[in-house]
Chains A and B, each alone.
Chain A
Amino acid sequence: MSWSVGPISALVTRSALAKPATRLYPVERRTPYARTRGHIEFRIDDCNFCTICAHKCPTLAIQVHKQDKTWAIDHSRCILCGICVEDCREGCITLSPLPCPPMRAKEVLSFRQEHEAPTVKVAAPAIER
């Protein structure tokens, strides 16, 4: 029989002696790449409530009210396509490379211009297109 059993034994021996290829995940994390689409970050100060982001969002994750001066994002609907980031003229929407922290419920992160910290409420039922 001309078949060789060498390759896998060499690989297995080397793997047994080398450092593991995996990480101890929650403790040890890889630095995210600059381009990684982690989550959407929003700064209310520069926003002029033009509603372009809400109109362009393919999953209707963003809701903007011009009169109330509120801007809200439902992270559970967001697909991180980055269209709002590209289309925001004021540059107040940015993509952070860090992943979104886990959510306990489907929450909507809502910003209002007079308030400093965003408020969180449980998401309303999905809007039909």
Chain B
Amino acid sequence: MSNTTIVPFGPQHPVLPEPIHLDLELDDERVVRALPSIGYVHRGLELLAERYDFVEMANVAERICGICSFIHGQGYCQGIEQLMGVEIPPRAAYLRTVWAEISRIQSHVLWLGLAADALGYESLFQHSWRIREMMVDIIEETTGGRVIFGVCKVGGIRKDVDDETLRDVRRRIGEIRAAFDEIATIFRDDPTVRQRTVGVGLLSAADAHALGAVGPVLRASGVVHDTRRLGYAAYGELDWEPIVEQDGDCYARCLVRVREVDQSFDLITQCLDRMPAGEVEISVKGKRPKGEAMFRLEQPRGEVCYYISADGKKNLDRFRVRTPTFANIAPLIHMLKGCELADVPVIVLTIDPCVSCNER
């Protein structure tokens, strides 16, 4: 007879920001096996695409997730544009890139705060969110919303941002970067952070690749893979390299995100320096999407895939999203095997689970 205990972890758990449920099979304090179950926050947003006009659906697509909201809207619009054979003006592509990077920064800094909280480091959590708030203010100033940007539309963006605001954004980005550098040092060097994360939740490069990990989880295991390298929006014209760490533990995943925030500041600065003038949208009046399209984007959490099928009607036939959290659940189960019960929250958090996005 086996001598194991099953402990339910989640969906409501003090340390989890998202409702994921894991059945942990424990041998003493060590995890032998973890069984995930998902589906607690299903909202049926994909089905709405079959009822809504494809232009209005951009509003719904943005509401798939509250943190990577802009990138979902961008992915949906780019998929439809690809189906219709529309090329958006360069200024719109650059502005989309700026907002995508701003949302990457706020998402990563939010995650760093939550990770600090999971480690029991409350002051670092508060400082991370203080910095995130500065980023959210920029989002509000340039788009009008704090969570839902509402600026992406099929054919470009809805409202141009004037050059004076962009100059102000550039100046503030510099200030936020200096403030972020202070907490970045803590995440890199602080003994509390390192003691809880170094060597915990190991995932080798071969396992990460075989289990289909995406985003920072994959890059922290030493695999060079970033969907932004496809060169969508303005990424093809910017100078950057994917951030990669070799160790594959929780500390490496934390470092990848810290370094990506820095890289995003750099990408925003590059975009603002090269911002082309001109129109921000192209009219798609009278055009209807027809055919099938598959589109990939890099979200803060990793690669997201969109499948769009349309029949030339005002509604889409099918809209499907494969979110990064779903891809990262299999690697998570692998990482949990053999870890201590006390390390489970930290490991679960390092994949940056976004269950609302995952279940739509």
Chain A residues close to B by CB (< 8 Å): 1, 3-5, 7-8, 10-12, 15, 21, 33, 35-37, 58, 79-82, 86, 95, 129
B347 at the interface (CB under 8 A from A): no
Residues of B within 8 A of A86 (CB): 158
The 5 closest A-B pairs by CB, nearest first: A35-B144, A37-B144, A3-B191, A7-B185, A33-B141
Which residue of the partner chain, among B52, B59, B182, B190, contacts A79 with CB atoms under 8 Å? B59
Is A8 within 8 A of B145, CB to CB? no
Cα–Cα distance between A81 and B57 once the two chains are bound (Å)? 12
Is A8 within 8 A of B140, CB to CB? no
Is B144 within 8 A of A8, CB to CB? no
Given A1-B191, A36-B144, A37-B145; A58-B52 close (CB under 8 Å): yes
Is A7 within 8 A of B144, CB to CB? no
Which residue of the partner chain, among A11, A81, A95, contacts B186 with CB atoms under 8 Å? A11
Chain A, Cβ-Cβ closest to B187: A7
Chain B residues close to A by CB (< 8 Å): 51-52, 56, 59-60, 123-124, 127, 130, 133, 140-145, 148, 150, 158-159, 182-183, 185-186, 189-191, 194
Which residue of the partner chain, among B56, B127, B130, B148, contacts A58 with CB atoms under 8 Å? B56
Residues of A within 8 A of B56 (CB): 58
Residues of A within 8 A of B124 (CB): 8
Apart from the given pairs A5-B191, A33-B144, 8 other A-B contacts in the complex at a CB distance below 8 Å: A15-B127, A35-B143, A36-B145, A37-B145, A58-B52, A79-B59, A79-B148, A82-B144
Is A81 within 8 A of B150, CB to CB? yes
Cα–Cα distance between A12 and B130 once the two chains are bound (Å)? 13
Is B143 within 8 A of A4, CB to CB? no
Main DSSP-derived SS at the A contact region: loop
Is B186 within 8 A of A7, CB to CB? yes
Cα–Cα distance between A39 and B218 once the two chains are bound (Å)? 42
Residues of A within 8 A of B158 (CB): 82, 86
Which residue of the partner chain, among A7, A37, A129, contacts B190 with CB atoms under 8 Å? A7
Is B191 within 8 A of A37, CB to CB? no
Is B189 within 8 A of A3, CB to CB? yes
Is A58 within 8 A of B59, CB to CB? yes
Residues of B within 8 A of A95 (CB): 144
Cα–Cα distance between A5 and B186 once the two chains are bound (Å)? 8
Most buried by B among A5, A8, A79: A8
Residues of A within 8 A of B52 (CB): 58
Cα–Cα distance between A55 and B327 once the two chains are bound (Å)? 39
Cα–Cα distance between A1 and B194 once the two chains are bound (Å)? 12
Minimum CB–CB distance for B90 against chain A, Å: 22
Is B140 within 8 A of A5, CB to CB? no
Given A8-B123, A36-B144, A37-B144; A21-B191 close (CB under 8 Å): no
Is B144 within 8 A of A11, CB to CB? no
Cα–Cα distance between A11 and B189 once the two chains are bound (Å)? 14
Cα–Cα distance between A33 and B194 once the two chains are bound (Å)? 40
Cα–Cα distance between A5 and B142 once the two chains are bound (Å)? 38
Given A79-B59, A82-B144; A7-B189 close (CB under 8 Å): yes
Residues of A within 8 A of B194 (CB): 3
Minimum CB–CB distance for A127 against chain B, Å: 14
Minimum CB–CB distance for B280 against chain A, Å: 14
Minimum CB–CB distance for A8 against chain B, Å: 5
Cα–Cα distance between A61 and B195 once the two chains are bound (Å)? 53
Minimum CB–CB distance for A72 against chain B, Å: 21
Is B51 within 8 A of A35, CB to CB? no
Chain B, Cβ-Cβ closest to A38: B144
Cα–Cα distance between A111 and B158 once the two chains are bound (Å)? 29
Is B182 within 8 A of A81, CB to CB? no
Q: What are 20 contact pairs spanning A and B, CB under 8 A?
A: A3-B190, A4-B190, A7-B182, A7-B185, A7-B190, A8-B123, A8-B186, A11-B183, A11-B186, A15-B127, A33-B140, A35-B140, A35-B143, A36-B144, A36-B145, A58-B52, A80-B145, A81-B150, A82-B150, A95-B144
